[in-house]
Amino acid sequence: MKKMADIKNILALGVGLMGEGIAQVALMAGYNVTLVDINDNLVNKAYSGIQAGIKKSEEKGQLAEGITAADLMTRCKKSTNLASAVKDIDIVIEAVIEKMDVKKQVCKTVMDNGPSHVIFASNTSTMSITEIGKDCGAPDRVCGMHFFNPVPLMRCIEIIKGADTSNETFNIAMDLAGKLPCLRGQRYIAPVLKDRPGFIVNRMNAPVIIYLHWAFDEADKRGIPWECLDADAGGKMPMPPCVLTDFTGIDTNFHIMNYYKETLSPDFEPGKVIKKLYEKGDLGPKTGKGFYDWSQGRDAIMQKIKNAEPAGIFDLNTVFAIMLNEGCRILDEGIASGFKVIDDANMAGMNAPGPFGAGKKNYEQWAKVLNDLADKTGKEYFRPIDLMKSGEFSKMRK
């Protein structure tokens, strides 16, 4: 396999918003990049987006000295034929649709047609890296490379080791990720040592969604307006629960919960309110309506929340307790080497602090909060695990 110093050619496969961002930072790092998607329109749209993004960086003085946007774009090629485009590629970074059969198919095409050293790195946010690479003929050269959106601005990249990923592949992916620039702060590369659903950042935040679904159903049952539920966050979240869920997309939220229901626990069964909104097709700003009617504009909605009487249902302290417990599960399962990686990854991937700093002081009180929550919601997944309630996690920093 090639050494990191020899990596020159990267293929961005699936160039929607994520793929476009990945290609942009790869070009800015000095690599030759080939954009590949299923038709010319998608590839041309991504090319234009990258060009605009790099031009903007040039205007802000963010490119290397003596390098122009035009110089970088000469190293960007386009193709709609993966089998021929991959012939001289060192690493493929895949960001196609989140469907396992499609990911497995393109992974096999890469291994069948690429050079004998080519690495396939999937940007999946939840799917099993081991399963993606299982039937490709070279599972040792398959790993996960999970970026956060928007790629040029979000610092975190998770590098995931599948069950068959070789140490060499993992180390090359770690090195490459560290060379990709971030336009807002320093890149943070989180090594994910085991291939488990949600990896580190999404996994730690996953059970918070169970709590949100319960809160939505509780507010609905009591006839409490959504802005009152959002007022519970007291302006301490970048986006309060209903706004956040609308922006994520009700459909995305619904599918994520069903995935975790299959892979982690039946307690991830989507709540009644989310099911109803999903079935009605009220998916958030992209359809004009979700929890809120977005035709009135974001500012009007945020003002409404600011003026609302808090519902007293949703509690931020409980969110941290849930995250600490899940962070302890991540340590327990050997997904991360220590709690510092988990906290740092959350800050770099979500722009929000992880739970361990406060958790070291509050774990006993939070364990009680979680037991009460499990009793109140009927969701056993909330029960504190031994590593959390004993406080033993505090010895697992690195």
276-306 pLDDT, tens digit each = 999 999 999 999 999 999 999 999 999 999 9
Confirm whether 4-192 and 316-395 share one CATH topology. Answer: no
- On whether the CB atoms of residues 202 and 377 are closer than 8 A, the answer is no
Token pair listed for 256: 């994520």
Residue extents of the structural domains in the chain: 4-192, 201-307, 316-395
Token pair listed for 375: 């009793």
**Model confidence band, residue 70 (pLDDT cutoffs 50, 70, 90):** very high
Query: In the prediction, which pLDDT does 165 show?
Result: 98
Residues sharing a CB contact under 8 Å with residue 282, sequence separation 6 or more, in sequence order: 250, 289, 290
Largest Cα separation within the chain, whole Å, is: 63
- On whether the CB atoms of residues 142 and 169 are closer than 8 A, the answer is yes
Is the pLDDT score of 126 beyond 90? no
Rg (CA), the chain: 22
What are the CA-CA distances from residue 185 to residues 51, 182, 280 (Å)? 22, 6, 41
In sequence order, the β-bridge partners of residue 10 are: 33, 91
Is the pLDDT score of 253 beyond 90? yes
Confidence (pTM): 0.94
Q: Decide the pairing of beta strands 91-94 and 119-122.
A: parallel
Per-residue pLDDT averaged across 224-229, rounded?
A: 98
Q: Tell me which residue has tokens 């999903």.
A: 278
Per-residue pLDDT averaged across 15-20, rounded?
A: 95
Is the pLDDT score of 232 beyond 90? yes
Is the pLDDT score of 4 beyond 80? no
Is the pLDDT score of 119 beyond 90? yes
Q: Give, in words, the CATH class of 4-192.
A: alpha beta
Is the pLDDT score of 182 beyond 90? yes
Query: In the prediction, which pLDDT does 5 show?
Result: 59
Query: Would you please indicate which residues are annotated as catalytic (active-site) residues?
Result: 125, 146, 158, 202
How far apart are the two ends of the chain, measured CA to CA in Å?
30
Q: Give, in words, the CATH class of 201-307.
A: mainly alpha
Q: Give, in words, the CATH class of 316-395.
A: mainly alpha
The rounded mean pLDDT for the chain is 96
30-48 pLDDT, tens digit each = 999 999 999 999 999 999 9
The DSSP secondary-structure symbol of 184 reads S
Helix or strand (DSSP H, E) at 12: strand 9-13
| Three-state DSSP class for residue 9 | strand
Alpha-carbon gap, residue 74 to 77, rounded angstroms: 8
Per-residue pLDDT averaged across 384-395, rounded?
A: 98
The DSSP secondary-structure symbol of 186 reads -
Per-residue pLDDT averaged across 126-147, rounded?
A: 97
Is the pLDDT score of 3 beyond 70? no
- On whether the CB atoms of residues 1 and 172 are closer than 8 A, the answer is yes
- On whether the CB atoms of residues 276 and 189 are closer than 8 A, the answer is no
Per-residue pLDDT averaged across 81-108, rounded?
A: 97
Residues sharing a CB contact under 8 Å with residue 151, sequence separation 6 or more, in sequence order: 18, 21, 22, 24, 25
Is the pLDDT score of 363 beyond 80? yes
Handedness of CA 53, 59, 64, 67 (dihedral sign): positive
Torsion, Cα of 17, 340, 183, 122 (10° steps):
-30
